[in-house]
Amino acid sequence: MSHRDSPVTEDELHVYVDGELPADRLAAVEAWLASHPEDAVRIANWRAQAEAIRARYSGLAKEPIPERLALDRITRRGHVWTAVAAAAAVVAFFAGGLTGWVARGSSIPPPTAFELFTTDALQAHKLYIGEVRHPVEVPGIERAHLVQWLSKRLNAQLRAPNLEQIGLKLVGGRLLPGPTGPAAFFMYEGPSGDRFTLYCGTTSAVQSAMRYHSIEQTGSIYWVDRDLAYVLSGPADREQLLKVAQAAYDQIEVRTPPVAEKM
Amino acid sequence: MSSFRQGIEAAIPALRRYSRALTRDAETADDLVQDTLVRALRSEHLFYGGDVRSWLYTILTNLNRNRLRSLARRPILQSIEDNDAPNSAGPEAGGRDIERALAQLVDEQRTALLLVVLEGLSYREVAEVQGVPIGTVMSRLSRARAQIKDYLDGARPALRRVK
């Protein structure tokens, strides 16, 4: 902040016009403008611009909201769990397996993508985190190879998120049979030996927000992004799991720039 | 309705206003708002509190930036035509001028200016939306204002004749 008597800067002129000038600079700025007419003209200009912009556009905020922007409509259209979308998604997953459901004329609704992936991921999680000698097939130190191998099998560009910032190191990964075809499975471990797994399978379900599910001591978070379904599993602590899931999501989404793989 | 959804719904008029000023085209503007709302509603679990409005401005600003990058050509810059700007100071004429003046700004400058004067965000809030330091916001603001001033000055033939 400028000292009370220091010269007026151009930055302060902007701050003045935008109404954020601290009170103790007001006198100095006004005195300056009185003795510097060319600056006074500039400020008047900036104010006129702001007025013109508001005159031109502020009316938009007073218009009734068009139907296409009604939240109910948007949610319904984007919702992946409507009956039609779920059925269509399951048909795509099971190219063949679903005929069992249809043939028997089952009145039980077919499983959703969320149910399929979460069940499979939790089963794998519980099975493999207990393994001491063979928890994974390819160890984390061969990260690049692991990702390349699984990407090839899933025919999708995968990433093994780097979770070291939250204290989890990559134990490694393996390939699993999944409901829609091969699934990728990454295991992470914290300093006290707690294990988290990230399961990933291809899907045609639409992008979804994260969904939490827990069964006894294990919890999972499921989401879909760009044709890949993810399930992050770990101890049934919703807040903690959400934190890990967001870290994984950030790394995968590359909202943070990718860390070059050091191999 | 959850307070999260309520917060989003309450922001829709402001988002429409900001979007229209940013894109200049009514259809594109509402497309952008719709995309913003879809993303916001799906990302509730990724929103960890703070100001919903600022967060929505950030999403919309980024979507617009992506949109511009994927356009085959940059937006057409309006050239100043000698016989174009009317001498009269009617409200219609003024509206066209400011719209064209905004259109010829670089995206980041236009965004900064609109967020401050149209949406009333503080410099700090703009810095967060744009993901840059406050100093950068101020220099964008400064350049935007200088460029608009030059454009509007040049658009008034009377002034040129005086020179």
pLDDT at A217 over 60: yes
Residues of B in contact with A63 (CB under 8 A): 13, 16
Find the mean pLDDT for residues A224-243. 90
Please state whether A23 falls in left (phi above 0), alpha (psi between -120 and 50) or beta: alpha
pLDDT for residue B142? 97
Q: How much is the pLDDT for A101?
A: 37
Q: How many residues does chain B have?
A: 163
Rg of chain A in Å (alpha carbons):
28
Edge-to-edge strands, sheet with A195-202: A138-139, A169-178, A181-189, A195-202, A228-235, A218-225, A208-215
Distance CA B58, CA B125 (A): 10
Average confidence score pLDDT of chain B: 80
Tokens for A159, please give them.
């990433």
**How many CB atoms within 10 Å of residue B158?**
8
B1 by DSSP, 3-state: which?
Answer: coil
On the question of pLDDT at B146 being above 70, the answer is: yes
Spell out which chain A residues touch chain B, with contact meaning CB-CB distance below 8 angstroms.
Answer: 10-11, 14-15, 18, 20, 42, 45-46, 49-50, 52-58, 60-63, 65-66, 68-69, 71, 74-75, 78, 207-210, 242, 246, 249
What's the confidence (pLDDT) of residue A56? 93
What's the rounded mean pLDDT across residues B21-28?
88
Q: How many whole angstroms separate alpha carbon A160 and alpha carbon A247?
A: 12
Could you say which DSSP state residue A179 is in?
B
The rounded distance, in Å, linking the Cα atoms of A84 and A205 is 12
Q: Give start and end residues of each alpha helix (H) in chain A.
A: 10-17, 23-35, 37-57, 71-78, 83-94, 99-103, 113-128, 143-154, 238-253
Question: To the nearest 5 percent, what fractions of chain A are helix, strand and coil?
Answer: 50, 20, 30
pLDDT digits (tens, 9 = 90+) for A179-190: 878 999 999 998
pLDDT band at A110 (very low <50, low <70, confident <90, very high): low
Q: Distance between CA atoms of B115 and B31, rounded to whole angstroms?
A: 19
CA atoms of A131 and A137, how far apart (whole Å): 11
Facing residue for A65 by CB, picked from B13, B94, B97: B13
CA distance B78 to chain A (A): 18
Mutate which of A10, A45, A69 to disrupt the B interface (most B C-beta within 10 Å)? A69
Quick check: A247 pLDDT over 60?
yes
Q: What is the pLDDT of residue B70?
A: 67
The average pLDDT across B63-73 equals 72
Residue B154, C-beta contacts closer than 8 angstroms, at least 6 positions apart: B80, B160
**How would residue A95 be classed by pLDDT, with cut points 50, 70 and 90?**
very low
- For residue A259, name the pLDDT band (cuts at 50, 70, 90): very low
Q: What residue ranges define each of the domains in chain A, with the CATH number in brackets?
A: 10-61 (no CATH), 112-253 (3.30.200.100)
Q: Are A18 and B152 inside 8 Å of each other by CB? A: no
Residues in chain A: 263
Nearest to B148 among A10, A18, A49 (CB): A49
What pLDDT does B105 receive?
93
- The reply to whether residue A242 touches residue B37, judged by beta carbons under 8 angstroms, is no
**B66/A contact by beta carbon, under 8 A:** no
Residue B25 structure tokens:
């085209």
Q: Are A135 and A186 in contact (CB under 8 A)?
A: no
Region of poorest pLDDT, from B5-14, B78-87, B115-124: B78-87
The chain-wide mean pLDDT, for chain A, equals 82
Strands (E), B60-135: none
- Tell me which residue of A222, A225, A81, A199 sits closest to A90, measured CA to CA: A81
∠ Cα B31 B32 B38 (to 5°): 90
**Is B9 close to A56, i.e. CB distance below 8 A?**
no
> Of A63, A123, A71, whose CA–CA distance to B16 is shortest?
A63
Size of interface A-B (CB pairs under 8 A): 103
Q: What is the pLDDT of residue B114?
A: 98
DSSP state of A228: E
In whole angstroms, give the CA distance from residue B38 to residue B131: 22
Least confident piece of the model among A10-19, A166-175, A219-228, B132-141: A219-228
A191 vs A53: which has the higher pLDDT: A53
Closest CA to A73 of B21, B52, B33, B49: B33
pLDDT mean over B128-144: 95
Q: What is the ipTM of this complex?
A: 0.82
Residue A188, strand partner residues:
A170, A196
Residue B77 has pLDDT above 70, yes or no: no
The answer to whether residue B94 neighbours chain A at the CB level (below 8 Å) is yes
Q: Kindly list the structural domains of chain B, giving each domain's residue range(s) and its CATH number in brackets, ordered by start.
A: 1-73 (1.10.1740.10), 87-163 (1.10.10.10)
**Residue showing tokens 């007025």:** A51
Residue of A14, A57, A65 with shortest CB distance to B142:
A14
Q: What is the pLDDT of residue A163?
A: 93
Q: Assess whether pLDDT exceeds 70 at residue A151.
A: yes
Q: Record the tokens describing residue B59, joined without a space.
A: 């999403």
Give residue-wise pLDDT tens across range A49-70.
999 999 999 999 999 999 888 8
Q: What is the pTM of this model?
A: 0.53
Taking an 8 Å cut-off on Cβ atoms, the answer to whether A56 and B5 are in contact is no
Structure tokens at A213: 């599910």
Choose among A243, A244, A252: nearest CA to A225.
A252
Is B150 touching A (CB cutoff 8 A)?
no
